[in-house]
Amino acid sequence: MKNLNKEDYKICVVGLGYVGLPLAARFSSMGYEVTGFDIKKERINQLKNQIDVNNDLSEKNLKALSEKSKLTSSIDEIDNNNIYIVTVPTPINDDKTPDLKPIKASSELVGSVIKKGSIVIFESTVYPGVTDEVCTPILEEKSSLIFNVEFSTGYSPERIVPGDKIHTIEKIKKVVSASNKEALKVVSFLYSSIIEAGIHQAPSIKVAEAAKVTENIQRDVNIALINEMHQLYTAIGISTNDVIDAASTKWNFMKLTPGIVGGHCISIDPYYLMHKSEMSGYTPNIMRASRKINDEMSKWVVEKFLQFIDIKDINIKKTEITFLGYSFKENCSDTRNTKVKDLINLVKGQGINVGLWDPIVNPQELRELQDQGIKIYTEKPNKIECAFLCVNHDEIITFLEGYTGLIFDYKNIDFN
């Protein structure tokens, strides 16, 4: 195989969200010719004007990307590339089964433009077999090319953590895989040239797909365990955090804290592997039990909150409960699948007046809540009667340092 050079590869990143945008920016900054594609024209126009509503890129990096790379929502402008990296979301349906429509649509789109010698790399989180059994046949049909002869595929699971400014894309080791040895060399070359932490070559695409869902399922199971303990310790009147602090003095204790599990990874990915597991005839008992515990955590939290209201003798007809934080995790503006929405709806369903302040979430994302009669604070509230702490953004914690009113913190329940 000839020596590999950056100049030989023109990269198109399909999907410019939390994963695709940093990836496109990183490839561009390392000297690659990059095209960023997103079906949302508004998103492309924002990026061209150096606006990133997700706050994933610094102004400097966003400016560099918009000046050096092509950003487009037109399919006609992406047919001159030979590397296509698909980073679209993989959500679930209402019945908790995988919703593969976005990745199927992306495969159809890419299949319609690839040429001989192209490599299509998927980064979207899926269950083992989706790339080979779902995406590849679509690519073949749409392109009329012969798989592993005229085009190849690869899979490199995204590992970006939204809102994390320390573990940025180049500092996270990348798992890579491909449909044949020649393609693996190219995929490895591409990622190793932009990832400082290095790469790990998985022996197959299915292994790489499984590795990704395994990462998040492990966290889901562990969080479910600590959530179950939190419910138990609250019932017997001791502090879960005190227990964790004591237990974590042993070197091999995994320190986790209770929480409501939302977002687009940990609360979604288990359903992908559970679906594949059930297709194969195996019942994933621990995964199912963990999902049930974490899914029902919101109801338990609201039960404790109503108990808090009763003990503190709060007049719910005259008191506004102000929720602090709306995104799915601290110091992150991502509101996808946030469980705070469930908390708000459950509390509001009790006839309680509700307000919300999240200093880092774009107010445009809160319009739906505002339309439902929830008071949205676009500035730091001057006065709060009773605070319901949901997300520990740094700005919220700083605000609470000077707060003397009532506060319900479900992670640190204390009714005294």
On whether the CB atoms of residues 376 and 356 are closer than 8 A, the answer is: yes
Question: For residue 117, is it left (φ>0), alpha (ψ between -120 and 50) or beta?
Answer: left
Token pair, residue 63, equals 């400016």
Q: Give backbone dihedrals phi and psi of 329, rounded to 5 degrees, phi first.
A: -155, 165
* Active-site residue, selected from the candidate residues 12, 265, 386, 390: 265
On whether the CB atoms of residues 393 and 325 are closer than 8 A, the answer is: yes
CA distance 371 to 354: 13
CA 367, distance to chain mean position in Å, is 21
CA distance 295 to 321: 23
CA distance 133 to 154: 13
The answer to whether 135 is a known catalytic residue is no
Query: What's at 166, amino acid-wise?
Result: I
Neighbours of 248 (CB within 10 A): 13
* 287-290: Cβ within 8 A, 24+ apart: 287/217, 287/220, 287/221, 289/224, 290/217, 290/220, 290/221, 290/223, 290/224, 290/225
On whether the CB atoms of residues 33 and 68 are closer than 8 A, the answer is: no
DSSP string of 291-350, one letter each residue: HHHHHTHHHHHHHHHHHHHHHTT--TTT-EEEEE--SSSTT----TT-THHHHHHHHHTT
On whether the CB atoms of residues 123 and 19 are closer than 8 A, the answer is: yes
Residues with catalytic annotation?
265
